[in-house]
A and B are shown apart, each in its own frame.
Chain A
Amino acid sequence: MQPQRRTIVTTAVNGTPVEALVDVRITLADFLREEAGCTSVHLGCEHGVCGACTVLLDGLPVRSCLRLAAQATGHAITTLEGVMQTERGKMIGQAFVEQFAMQCGFCTAGFALSLYHLLENAPEPITDRDIHETLGGHICRCTGYVSIVEAAKRLRDQRG
């Protein structure tokens, strides 16, 4: 048994500076959910495969279940809570809601964050293949993906 050690995390969550004393072993996902109030971060597998826990670390999608909170020091974290403050986030929300790109919603924030990253960063044009590759990193058990692909294509078309 390791003696419990603590460390100070100095990060920014959705634009707000956060400094917190945490267990060195607490995962970024648990830290975001329990200490930073970001309950949009969902845990589907806790071993890095399902994508439900995806957040942006300095703008890049990462699995927050595979990282420690301590590793966030010096980096900026964005979750769905942050993305929804942006125009693009609102468009993503609208497309998902209107296309029924979610059923139970447990996977949705992960898909939304990866799509946000794609829409923000991918050079024109975003191809169907780009969309498949982005969505292919996530598991959804409800929709069969068709409506998520439709929402993604609609967002791609709106981007222009």
Chain B
Amino acid sequence: MNEFPAPPSTEGRRLFDLQAQYIADLTPLPNLAHAAVVRSPYAHARIRSIDPSAALALPGVITVLTGREVQEWSRPFAVDAERPGRYYSCAIDKVRYVGEPVAVVMAANRYVAEDARDTIEVEYEPLPAVVEVEAAMQPSAPILHEELETNVAIDRHLTYGDVAAVFSAADIVFSQRYVFPRYQSFPLETYGIIASWNPSASQASFWANFHGPYSMLAVLAGALRVPLSKLRVVTPPDVGGSFGNKIALYPYMALMALASRKANRPVKWIEDRLESLSASSTGTDRVTQIEVAARNDGQLLGLKMRLMDNVGAYIRAPEPGCLFRPIGNFMNAYKIEHLEVNALAVMTNVCPSGPNRGYACQQHYFPIERAIDELALKLGKDPATVRLQNLIQPQDIPYRTVTGGLYDSGDYPRATQRALELSNYWQLRQSTGAAAPSDAGVWRGVGMAVAIDPSGSNMGYIDVSKKATQRRPNLVRVGSAQTTRIYLDATGGVTVELETAAHGQGQETTAAFIVAQTLGIAPADVTVIAGMDTGSRPWSVSSGSYSSRFGAVGASSIVAAARRLQENLLQAAAYFLDSTASRLRIRAGRIVSLDNAQLGLSLKDVAARLHWSTGTLPPHLETATQIEGTFVASELDYPNEHDQVNSSAVYAFTADVAVVEIDKETFDIRVTDYITVHDAGNILHPQIARGQFVGGLLHGLAGALYEELRYTETGDFLTGTLMDYLCPTVSEMPGNIVTDHIVLPTPQALTGAKGVGESTAQTAPIAIANAVADAVRHLGLEITELPLTPDKLWQQLGARLAGEPACT
């Protein structure tokens, strides 16, 4: 198979050839108006009046769209929640977070649009706000959506196994509260949309850096009150990152479609950074109350978890995914059979939440992996030992989790051991925490985390948000599917269409490599059509690039298509050579006979005949050059009455070790070493996979130490620039980064690949937290929340020492 080395970056080549096309570069339609969004300065207020007259008087201003038209022309977005509130693309009579759209100005250019935006008079009546999830659950809390009489959108109780029994039989039971913060993975390119409303057809066309899941387009169509077929969405070939952030683009697509409808011309909007940080989408912040039951020998018996998600001002699809996406892997990689979960989604006066690289896994594993460290300590054992003792063993795989997940492949102890070896863990343990030399200028710590990395979400998991009796019996949402088209042209050239809306994952490079390997031709001979267009390419609601699904699902559809083309070529050659397909092979651009060395045809010849001699072809070869390959993930199911569901197509595994040093004077925290070992099945392209691991580490490091979207108690937004929202640069990255993997291919994908995209973004915040905990435990400090900053450590230590000199 591997005749050719992994090719260099096609996407990078395009960039240096100066052919890149990002959304801001595009002018696909003439006569574009440029939009600026008027946004709420208040966290919670009633809108008394909006006066756009000064704006409308400015030269160059076309029109202004307000909530009145939005209410008239659209419906609230659908979402799977018991008490959802009414979420439109623009505030109607009340604003519920700082940055919420209130109106849209359209003008001849962006400068004029922004001038006009500042002249629009909006009169507000401020209301009390609430930003913390636990505060918002209090009976006395301000209510965001009065008609609901509560801020709690979802309150589900899930029980697996016999929790009461194991808790009463346990030697040790303890509970802890953990706080996972709000941050966003901050794609460097912001949201961008060009929308065009066609009034006579009630049809909307979009050019946008949207990348799926395409189920969001069904939500968009519903809000715009048009059939899905009346939407066309074009994603440009180049998208400047997303990490899940751009999934929540669709409400702005609705807003810009309505703006175009109002202006009666196409509208272009490029979000700015303040808008992105305050009002696009963020990871969900969560408070977890966890209770652990274990035996004295370290055996974990059961967990009780109360998950309190802050979903922001409106619960917005794909939320409540943060509560339910990891349901099949709720127990991480441990053999625990008893679990009780209370899953709550709570609305507060902050920006709505959404997917953020690792969607839900870091939130879910943080309390579990921190608690395992605590358990180990209480039992006088090493955290690594307790983990190894409780990991699911390779002979148990395929393993059905008590929550319904099917762990398809893997050797978790081996990958974990590998991470321990590569990091020199056992030796490090002798010189960290209290064991570190006291004359050093730093406190040192080592910590680890393991994670099941789910890839290829099953659409069905979201229905666990409803009780079994409330699910729609006539619509069983199950699966994850992808179709890829391949063409063979008359000169033997092969073209593959990407239908996955890539945004920086190197999918063009990988797609060409896969097709080339399957057909035995050079990657450079495969043309890849990048970008995506729902108007001309096949797609379904589960299409897109999200939940690390390219390796297992998207790329498997490319394999399926390439294999069909291969089969068609052999069939065609057999016909032309009067031979049998099973006795033919493709070798280096030729189809050759296994029986007769003289017998053969070049791919070019076969292609030419398939195109030029169509009138003579037998029926089975008439469409041989036009291929659609579809891959549907197997073993996915619909939640049963016990709330069990196989929530993802495949499950990869990650084991990480972090080493930190904390300066004793400045409390500056540095991650000196980071070791991450993956079992992601077959690696489709080694450099691309490594790039995903290291990129994931950056986001995890950012969440652990630097990035946080912060609000005051009254809901004012504090982190609207890169001076307040601290993105790591090269200087903050660990000096020593080691990535490694073991390869256990998954039988569930034609590629044998599992996900790589989210991986370390899930484990790094936790491994780093555990390392910091190890470094400062001997000082009496406890690590229960992120991000870990010098001032937080300083304050904790100050409180601890109560006036004594802080440094020891």
Query: Which residues of chain A have a CB within 8 Å of any CB of chain B?
Result: 1, 23, 25-26, 33, 39-40, 42-47, 49-50, 52, 80-81, 84, 92-94, 96-109, 112, 132, 135-149
Could you list 16 examples of A-B contacts with CB < 8 Å?
A23-B111, A33-B24, A39-B20, A47-B723, A50-B722, A81-B18, A96-B16, A97-B8, A98-B8, A100-B12, A104-B187, A139-B729, A142-B504, A144-B691, A147-B690, A147-B694
Asked whether, in the complex, the Cβ of B691 is within 8 Å of the Cβ of A100, the reply is yes
Does residue B22 face the partner (Cβ distance < 8 Å to A)? yes
Chain B residues near A141 (CB-CB < 8 A): 185-188, 241, 243, 695, 698-699, 727
* Closest residue of A by beta carbon distance from B58: A1
Does residue B115 face the partner (Cβ distance < 8 Å to A)? yes
In the assembled complex, the Cα of A1 lies from the Cα of B15 at a distance in Å of 39
Asked whether, in the complex, the Cβ of A104 is within 8 Å of the Cβ of B189, the reply is yes
Near A by CB (< 8 A), chain B positions 715-732 give: 721-723, 727, 729-731
In the assembled complex, the Cα of A60 lies from the Cα of B687 at a distance in Å of 32
Asked whether, in the complex, the Cβ of B18 is within 8 Å of the Cβ of A102, the reply is no
In the assembled complex, the Cα of A112 lies from the Cα of B238 at a distance in Å of 18
Asked whether, in the complex, the Cβ of A1 is within 8 Å of the Cβ of B722, the reply is no
Closest 6 CB pairs of A and B: A104-B504, A106-B240, A93-B16, A144-B694, A49-B722, A144-B698
Asked whether, in the complex, the Cβ of B15 is within 8 Å of the Cβ of A105, the reply is yes
In the assembled complex, the Cα of A141 lies from the Cα of B733 at a distance in Å of 12
**Known contacts A50-B722, A139-B188, A141-B185; A104/B503 CB under 8 A:** yes
A97-B12, A145-B733, A146-B737 known; 17 other A-B pairs, CB under 8 Å?
A: A1-B119, A42-B22, A42-B189, A44-B189, A50-B727, A93-B12, A96-B16, A98-B8, A100-B12, A104-B503, A106-B188, A132-B731, A141-B241, A141-B698, A144-B698, A147-B690, A147-B691
* Closest residue of B by beta carbon distance from A99: B687
Asked whether, in the complex, the Cβ of B12 is within 8 Å of the Cβ of A144, the reply is no
Tell me how far the C-beta of A10 lies from the nearest C-beta in chain B, rounded to whole angstroms: 22
Q: Is the interface of A mostly helix, strand, loop or mixed?
A: loop
Chain A residues near B690 (CB-CB < 8 A): 100, 147
Does residue B11 face the partner (Cβ distance < 8 Å to A)? yes
* Closest residue of B by beta carbon distance from A102: B12
Near A by CB (< 8 A), chain B positions 166-198 give: 185-190
In the assembled complex, the Cα of A77 lies from the Cα of B16 at a distance in Å of 18
* Closest residue of A by beta carbon distance from B270: A43
Tell me how far the C-beta of B773 lies from the nearest C-beta in chain A, rounded to whole angstroms: 24
In the assembled complex, the Cα of A25 lies from the Cα of B11 at a distance in Å of 34
| B side interface size, CB within 8 A | 53
In the assembled complex, the Cα of A98 lies from the Cα of B6 at a distance in Å of 10
Chain A residues near B71 (CB-CB < 8 A): none
Asked whether, in the complex, the Cβ of B273 is within 8 Å of the Cβ of A42, the reply is no
Does residue B146 face the partner (Cβ distance < 8 Å to A)? no
Asked whether, in the complex, the Cβ of A47 is within 8 Å of the Cβ of B11, the reply is no
In the assembled complex, the Cα of A6 lies from the Cα of B204 at a distance in Å of 37
Query: Which of A25, A42, A105 has the most chain B CB within a 10 Å cutoff?
Result: A105
Tell me how far the C-beta of B328 lies from the nearest C-beta in chain A, rounded to whole angstroms: 28
In the assembled complex, the Cα of A50 lies from the Cα of B8 at a distance in Å of 26
Chain A residues near B111 (CB-CB < 8 A): 23, 25-26
Does residue B272 face the partner (Cβ distance < 8 Å to A)? yes
Does residue B91 face the partner (Cβ distance < 8 Å to A)? no
Does residue B105 face the partner (Cβ distance < 8 Å to A)? no
**Known contacts A100-B506, A103-B504, A144-B694; A45/B273 CB under 8 A:** yes
* Closest residue of A by beta carbon distance from B119: A1
**Known contacts A108-B15, A144-B695, A149-B730; A100/B241 CB under 8 A:** no
Chain A residues near B240 (CB-CB < 8 A): 42, 44, 104-106
In the assembled complex, the Cα of A81 lies from the Cα of B243 at a distance in Å of 28
Does residue B25 face the partner (Cβ distance < 8 Å to A)? yes
In the assembled complex, the Cα of A51 lies from the Cα of B698 at a distance in Å of 18
Asked whether, in the complex, the Cβ of B9 is within 8 Å of the Cβ of A97, the reply is yes
In the assembled complex, the Cα of A94 lies from the Cα of B186 at a distance in Å of 27
Does residue B688 face the partner (Cβ distance < 8 Å to A)? yes
**Known contacts A42-B189, A45-B273, A132-B730; A139/B695 CB under 8 A:** no
Does residue B13 face the partner (Cβ distance < 8 Å to A)? yes
Chain B residues near A84 (CB-CB < 8 A): 16-18
Asked whether, in the complex, the Cβ of B691 is within 8 Å of the Cβ of A142, the reply is yes
